[in-house]
Amino acid sequence: MPLTSDLSIDYVNGILSYVGGFTDGIPDTTYSMNELYSYLMDVFDEPAQMDDANPMRAPTPTDYKILYPWFMDPTSVKAFYGGALESEGWAKVGTEDTSTIGGFGITKLLHGGTPTEGGDGYTDKGVVLTGGTSGATGEILWADNANNVIWVRNTSSTQFDDATPESITGTGWSVTLISATGVESGENLWSNLYTIAQIRDFTDIYIIQDDVKLTEWWDDGSIDVLVLVQEAGSLIDSGIVTVLARQQTSLYDFFQPDLSNGGRNPAPLSTAIDANNSTGSRTIATGVHSGAFEVGELIVGGTSGARAILTAYVTDTSLTYALVDKNLTDFQSGEVITGQTSTETATSSGSPADSGPATWTNVTLAFGAISRDLNNGNGSRPYSIEIDCNTRVLTQVYERLKYITRRGSTTQIGVTGSQEDGEQYLGSEVRLKTTTPAPSGFTEGGTLTQTGGVGDGATGIIVAYHSSPEDIVILSNVRGTFTDDSTSISDGANSGDIDSGGVTSAINGAFKSAPFGTFAGGTFFGAPGVYVTDLDAGDIQAYQLIDDLGVTQQPPNEIAVSISGLAAGDRAGIFRRASSTGPIEKDRYQGTAQSPGATTIVVGTSISSDEPAAGVVKIIDVSEDNDPEALLRYTSWTGSTFTLATAVSGTATAGSSGNALEDTGADFGVTDDVRVGDTIRNTTTSAWGYIVSIDGVNDLTTVSAEGQTLTWSTGNGYETNTLPFTSTVSDNVYVPFVLQAATGASVSNTFIYSADVYGR
């Protein structure tokens, strides 16, 4: 629908409102803020509106102001995107506005809802409310009866009174204000939040604000919305929100933007298939299947409308799945369930039931300071989260931990006294080294607050306090920035100070994909502070931890290799040899038949357990005279498959020539994960080579592989870190222990020792 059909302009009451439809809480049509602004400017330029107050102005292309006396309700704002909206002149004043509408500002009234609420929404707009004690008056603009809120335009210089608190009455209305918080007046700010997303299909993005999950008014996939971050002059949770993408069977991601300055704010998110999280959590019995379903396809319920990713099935017996979609609606008995790729059908014959990770409830968590010894020669080390595996294999433990932190999880997680829904849990965020607090140790579960210094007012939940080997505080749910120049830190009863250099922030930054730890190459990599106990016998070396001092802890027999004394930009490598004097073992594996663009490398035999969990795999094209080698970064391996790091693709733009690639839409080295040494393919010409330098966020310099002629022209497509040629069973594949361009003084990697190896 055109905006002219979906926007109501009430000249008498000074109201702009979206009157288009909503489906499942989502506006049927959305419009950019620029469309709204441009449309209103056209309308108010007309002679008939010349005596009406201008409703908007645009200080910048991404910041828009709604000007008093004009009002827009919070529901209508949901229909707009592409820029921030801030009120100007809503705050209550003592002098009446000179516009034709007049008034003394706009006030939000919060009431108890009884004895009598009037009409909801705009039903009673214009009805005059009067304060029983103050005598203040105001005309109703909009009512939200579900939340006991009334927005009014003040029509007297006196403000309503919530100190008593007073009753307010008007035609159809008789309610009492909430004491102390029932009257709010000031400016509103809706900041624009949008995702820069590389996410899997059917992923639903959600937003946490002030520990509350916002009711979604957007569909799955990338979002571009206006979020209320300041109401009646008060910032909500300092303007911080958490944007999350946590779809079961995917790697998770989150981002915490500060929206307090308005404008247009990106939230970069990236998700991908999690090969180690493929077990569905729900199952439903069925009758005969019409044919073979396809694991990984979307299945849809014909009656319930439920949508899910199929993770497994037993022919003519059952379907196992992971729910998707905004409302996580489940299937029901007696409905036809259809595979959206296979087109096969099955009729459910019972109600859904928990399955897989939903039933592995004997994996338990405990929060708080502990000291544990891995017997790796480092003695007892401090940790703050203990995971009791109850002899479950780590693959199941990992999936259980992903399950209880998925979107929709209400499992309570965290230190006693400060628990939160699992879908909100991010992990420990800040480590502080402190003086010894007095009169006693900081209380776990309490709130630590900084007083003084640059970080004055910073707060965080105390996950753990260690008095040995050092005084350490681990914090979650941090707001503000702790600094080491503070006057003091206190939990309200105990106080201390932060040591010089004692602040370590974003300690969970590498674990966005799984907040308790990631899983790759058969190994569980615990998030900071996580300790695992009661392991399955086969997993006693299949993990790596980070203690609360930030020191990596490995079980015995896990070997680290490194090269030091480097300068940034140096190329460094450690390669496997078949014998102490032999050449590099380049024929360790053979390839399989795969096509250019493959995002995995599948070899002909099982991958050896002593390969690095993540690193670089090289595949040699033996069909070419000079045996060119493609260098591909991988993030995990299992069985005979290396899963490659996320590819980056795009199109060469003007300025591309010779070995210089320019893409004005790229963000190389920032949100686009490309690195020096990566393989890059011209998808237009099929030629390939390597990245030799990252010259800017839009510019790369490349070099041809042996036997290739890699050049660039405007319009050429490109792709990095995917298989660049057609591989066969004759091609050789090998894995260096380390092979990368140094970004600092050293490079390193790890592998599990199983037998003597030779390297150079």
Q: Output the pLDDT for position 558.
A: 60
Q: Output the pLDDT for position 568.
A: 86
The tens digit of pLDDT for each residue in 515-530 reads 999 999 999 999 999 9
Task: Note the Cα 201 to chain centre separation in Å.
Answer: 15
Cα gap 294→321, rounded to integer Å: 12
Cα–Cα nearest to 641, from 606, 693, 665: 606
Q: Assess whether pLDDT exceeds 80 at residue 28.
A: yes
Query: Pick the residue with more confidence: 540 or 83?
Result: 83
Q: Assess whether pLDDT exceeds 70 at residue 105.
A: yes
Given a contact cutoff of 8 angstroms between Cβ atoms, the answer to whether 217 and 199 are in contact is no
Given a contact cutoff of 8 angstroms between Cβ atoms, the answer to whether 179 and 198 are in contact is no
- Residue 531: phi, psi to the nearest 5? -125, 135
For the segment 203-223, the average pLDDT, to the nearest whole number, is 96
Q: Output the pLDDT for position 50.
A: 79
Write down the pTM of the prediction: 0.73
Q: Assess whether pLDDT exceeds 90 at residue 115.
A: no
**654: exposed, middle or buried (Cβ count in 10 Å: 0-12, 13-18, 19+):** exposed
Residue 72, SS3 per DSSP? strand
Q: Assess whether pLDDT exceeds 90 at residue 295.
A: yes
Cα–Cα nearest to 692, from 714, 673, 677: 677
Where residue 695 falls among pLDDT bands split at 50, 70, 90? very high
Q: Output the pLDDT for position 747.
A: 86
Cα gap 256→225, rounded to integer Å: 15
Here the tokens at position 371 are 């000291």
Cα–Cα nearest to 722, from 683, 749, 665, 668: 683
Q: Assess whether pLDDT exceeds 90 at residue 236.
A: yes
403-431: b (≥16 Cβ within 10 Å) or e: bbbbbbbebebbbeebebbbbbbbbbbbb
**580: exposed, middle or buried (Cβ count in 10 Å: 0-12, 13-18, 19+):** exposed
Query: Pick the residue with more confidence: 144 or 758?
Result: 144
Given a contact cutoff of 8 angstroms between Cβ atoms, the answer to whether 123 and 194 are in contact is no
**Neighbour count for residue 476 (Cβ, 10 Å):** 23
Q: Assess whether pLDDT exceeds 80 at residue 591.
A: yes
Residue 712, SS3 per DSSP? strand
Where residue 744 falls among pLDDT bands split at 50, 70, 90? confident
Q: Which long-range contacts (CB under 8 A, 24 or more apart) does 702-710 make?
A: 702/659, 702/660, 702/661, 703/659, 704/659, 705/628, 705/629, 705/630, 705/679, 706/624, 706/626, 706/627, 706/628, 707/624, 707/625, 707/626, 707/628, 708/628, 710/659, 710/680, 710/682, 710/685
What single-letter DSSP state applies at residue 697?
Answer: T
The kind and range of the H/E element at 402 are helix 394-403
Length of the chain: 760
Q: Assess whether pLDDT exceeds 80 at residue 556.
A: no
Where residue 748 falls among pLDDT bands split at 50, 70, 90? confident
Q: Output the pLDDT for position 559.
A: 73
Q: Assess whether pLDDT exceeds 90 at residue 727.
A: yes
Given a contact cutoff of 8 angstroms between Cβ atoms, the answer to whether 192 and 265 are in contact is yes
Beta strands in 374-514 (DSSP E): 380-388, 412-413, 420-421, 430-434, 447-451, 459-466, 472-479, 488-490, 495-496, 498-504
Query: Pick the residue with more confidence: 417 or 344?
Result: 344
For the segment 219-243, the average pLDDT, to the nearest whole number, is 96
For the segment 42-66, the average pLDDT, to the nearest whole number, is 93
Given a contact cutoff of 8 angstroms between Cβ atoms, the answer to whether 160 and 136 are in contact is yes
For the segment 34-46, the average pLDDT, to the nearest whole number, is 95
Q: Output the pLDDT for position 1.
A: 58
- Dihedral (C-alpha) 378, 379, 382, 388: value to the nearest 10 degrees? 100
Q: Output the pLDDT for position 755.
A: 78
- 74-78, 314-318, 578-582, 650-654: range with lowest mean pLDDT: 578-582
Q: Output the pLDDT for position 740.
A: 86
Given a contact cutoff of 8 angstroms between Cβ atoms, the answer to whether 545 and 374 are in contact is yes
**Mean predicted lDDT score pLDDT of the chain:** 95
The tens digit of pLDDT for each residue in 127-172 reads 999 999 999 999 999 999 999 999 999 999 999 999 989 999 999 9
Q: Output the pLDDT for position 69.
A: 96
Query: Pick the residue with more confidence: 253 or 625?
Result: 253
Tokens 């707001």, residue located? 479
For the segment 82-90, the average pLDDT, to the nearest whole number, is 98
Q: Output the pLDDT for position 506.
A: 86
Where residue 111 falls among pLDDT bands split at 50, 70, 90? very high
- Residue 374: phi, psi to the nearest 5? -80, -5
**Residues 6+ away with beta carbon under 8 Å from 558:** 541, 544, 750, 751, 752, 753
The tens digit of pLDDT for each residue in 498-509 reads 999 999 998 888
Q: Assess whether pLDDT exceeds 90 at residue 557.
A: no
Q: Assess whether pLDDT exceeds 70 at residue 709.
A: yes
Where residue 538 falls among pLDDT bands split at 50, 70, 90? confident
Cα gap 10→17, rounded to integer Å: 8
Q: Assess whether pLDDT exceeds 70 at residue 629.
A: yes
